[in-house]
Structure 1
Amino acid sequence: MASCTQQPFVLVIDDNHDSADLMVELLQACGYSSAAAYGGASGIEAIRNFSPDVVLLDLLMPEVDGFQVASTVRKPGFPHQPTLIAFSALSDTATTDLAMRSGFDYHLPKPATIKQVITVIANARARKQNPAPAYSNRGDGPTPAAGEAAPAFNYKSGF
């Protein structure tokens, strides 16, 4: 594993305080610098103020949901563009498609093991450091032809 100085800063945004705090503790135990925000509005402010590299973002939250957070962060002029990972119990195709259209980079269904979370974060970091090619095959299908949209990154259980 890389040293802590090479690990990205991960912000966890979830309205469930216990879930967010547990994920922060697990990430910290794995050497990641991480923090939690407890809802969409506070998550947007945390992204503005702390410029995280990666955001694990719940989709279903009251008032400001994860889709709204992603759409806000992806607007032109927003001061920071982290990698956004939808982290939700919703894992159907329509939700994954909506997440990608809202500005997410990845979709990781809950429940997920810490190994799956770390793998998605590592893949996100590698993709950001080496953006070409823009598509990285998940290993479950052919690489799309030029001009085709890449499918959403979606981990399935079975690790």
Structure 2
Amino acid sequence: MEIRIIDNDIRLIPYYRNDEVSLAWYQDLDVCKQVDNIDHTYDLETLHNMYDYLSSHGDCYYIEYQGVLVGDVSLRENKEVAIVICKEYQNRHIGRKCVTDMLKLAKEKGYDKVIANIYTFNEQSKSMFRALGFVQTGEEDFELIL
């Protein structure tokens, strides 16, 4: 995997273990609820297990915005895209641009569709994925035919 340049502000950096930065994102209860529907924060073991899984089952990147790591995005072998942006950087269209780049990556890989799993209460994510053309196919399932 190589660095993916999205625009002058956003780059996707291939995953490497960076606990100091990434664990902080998963210490926010709201982010943990959005991502995993849990009411507690991640510990280091949970963080490592998540990233080990994502990086061994697809492409996993850190999101760098104006030189600061602000989240992560992944495209798994099962065609699922997932994204996390730390709270202070949400609502700046960073996520939209990163998911759009994952759609390009999916096309490069020859995928015929991309899926996303979004909890029913996560209106912010549902709105973003719908704006990108995803359609809801189940209670928490979204799909975009490429």
Give TM-score scaled by structure 2 length. 0.33
Structure (1 or 2) with the greater strand fraction: 2
Higher CA-based Rg: 1
Give TM-score scaled by structure 1 length. 0.32
